[in-house]
Structure 1
Amino acid sequence: MENQITDTSVIFKYDNGMMLEQFDQIVSEFPVTIFLGGEEFATMVCTPDNLEELIYGFLASEGVIRVYEDVKSLQIDEAKGYAYVELKNNQCISKEYHSKRFIGSCCGKSRQFYFHNDARTAKTSTSQIKLTPNQCITLMKDLQNSSMVFQETGGVHNAGLFSQDEMIINRADIGRHNALDKILGYCVINRIPVRDKIIAFSGRISSEVLLKAAKIGVGIILSKSAPTNLAIKLANDLNITAVGFIRGSSFNVYSHCYRITEK
């Protein structure tokens, strides 16, 4: 039986001096354990939809695969919360490799906070795409209006993949990383080129979110919230335009402002 994205719960709501019993929609939280070549590799806690995309995106983000064809087979047992992945090339994937910090520098810049796999998979953007200020505002509004799960529960992060003029796909999840991995997995499965695309995101642009955008390969990330200082440093390093606080008719550009232009 397929897992439900939302569940119904009895709650007590205080409103205008009264405590009222009512039903409310609550977002589901579901653990999925990935077995890679028969060995337990990782467990993710996620919103249980688009699990195939999530797994492909997570493996691509971790540098385990690069293209769809790298996976020989994928079987998902939703009842147990297990995903069994067999790769075409049964290379040894070290858990230690995927958890140790990589302490180093890159041409004297700020990449000392990467994991090993981040240093291998985060791409410096070569995107030539540009947006007008009005496009930034419109795309952010489109993302906010697109997620029924958020409107029902208020309990998920939203991410969308856009061209200059329209949404290609949007995904929601309780985990901000998962929402972005679902986007990446969709691109891997459907072989969608991403250099000329944009990511819009509902939450704060942390360094980890910025790195996810770099792994997807886009040149612009839009958000209604703020970036962290490390995210800005990484955006400058990776040639990514980070736009935040998109609210109403205003926003801030934190890096590589040349991609936001009236022309």
Structure 2
Amino acid sequence: MRRETDRTMDFLDEYRLRPDPADPRLSVAVTGVNEAGEPVETRVTVERALTLFLNSREIVTMMTIGDHPEYLALGYLLNQNMLRPETPVTGIDYDDDLGVVVVRTEAETDFEEKLRKRTQTSGCAQGTIFGDLMDVIENARLPATPLRTSWLYALTHKINQTPSLYLESGAIHGCVLAREDRPLVYMEDVGRHNAVDKIAGYMQHHAIDPADKIFYTTGRLTSEMVIKTVRMGIPVLVSRSGFTAWGVELARKAGLTLIGRARGKRFVALAGAGRLIFDQDLAYVPDEGARHRRKGARAAEDAE
């Protein structure tokens, strides 16, 4: 595996990984009627089944939009603690017609034992964590990376201005790997955990150093999201959505900086707040456009 440098991880280069909103394989036009009984055409996100094998053992069938199956498979196995980062992967084979991806390794694994111990999480489509889910939290050694609020505002603004499948057809989550205020890798999928796993697989394949990175998600900051971010070694997790109590508790135990409800000028830090550097004058931060706000967020703001 090669080590990516900051020079090669360029915003314009790596952002090509995001799903193309115009790709007909990822969304389709559907005709219906609106609230006035008028005919309308809208685009809806496509989802398809992907079955993952580790060597000859079938592990799981996931519903996904179908892009980057190799990154998704590798990241899933890493984030579910079924492969360790140091485990040599000898190959990843994908068959589009069958909807099957096979990750091959010659190293001994204990995935059979992990499969017997599983925890259903709050993830989309019944996310699952295999093995002892607290191991990663108890053994976490995340760097105390500072976060400038100027980076945070610039980052969320850039993400909101990027064409996406979410804006085209909705019903999808996005995740972004960033450094300071610079988005590096953008992934989307119907399940937020799938989008996370794609980035985890990308980081593993390209040997990306997580120590100075920021992870952004449109999904809720649940225990599963926190555990996966900590497992990837990323010290900062940001979301436009809210928190769960256990997600906050685990973030504090692991030393993860946890920021939620990041919309426009607003955000709330419930873990790692001491690492924030408040260097941004809020008078120069634009409000989030209505196109990027979810209905619940708009209603809450209109009520204030």
TM-score, structure 1 as length reference: 0.86
d(CA) in 1 for partners of 2:63, 2:55: 21
**Paired residue for 1:6?**
27
**Paired residue for 2:114?**
97
Match of 2:194 among 178, 191, 211: 178
**Paired residue for 1:152?**
168
Unaligned runs of 5+ residues in structure 2 are 1-22, 120-128, 280-304
Per-residue deviation, 1:66: 2.8
Match of 2:159 among 135, 139, 143: 143
Matched, 1:85 2:100: no
**Paired residue for 1:258?**
274
Match of 1:118 among 133, 158, 163: 133
Q: Count residues with an aligned counterpart.
A: 247
SS at match of 2:134: helix
SS at match of 1:146: coil
Q: Deviations over 1:228-258 (max 9, x none)?
A: 1100100000000111111221211101112
- Of stretches 127-136 and 155-164 in structure 1, the one that deviates more from structure 2 is 127-136
- 1:118/1:142 CA distance change after superposition, 3 Å: farther
d(CA) in 2 for partners of 1:186, 1:127: 21
Match of 2:57 among 39, 44, 54: 39
Matched, 1:249 2:265: yes
- 1:220/1:161 CA distance change after superposition, 3 Å: same
Match of 1:128 among 144, 150, 172: 144
- 1:99/1:20 CA distance change after superposition, 3 Å: farther
TM-score, structure 2 as length reference: 0.75
Per-residue deviation, 1:30: 1.1
**Paired residue for 2:13?**
none
- 1:195/1:5 CA distance change after superposition, 3 Å: same
Percent identity, aligned pairs only? 24
Per-residue deviation, 1:147: 4.8
Q: CA RMSD in A?
A: 2.2
Match of 1:54 among 63, 68, 72: 72
**Paired residue for 1:109?**
none
d(CA) in 2 for partners of 1:208, 1:258: 24
**Paired residue for 2:298?**
none
Unaligned runs of 5+ residues in structure 1 are 103-113
Per-residue deviation, 1:43: 1.2
- 1:140/1:24 CA distance change after superposition, 3 Å: same
d(CA) in 1 for partners of 2:208, 2:24: 28
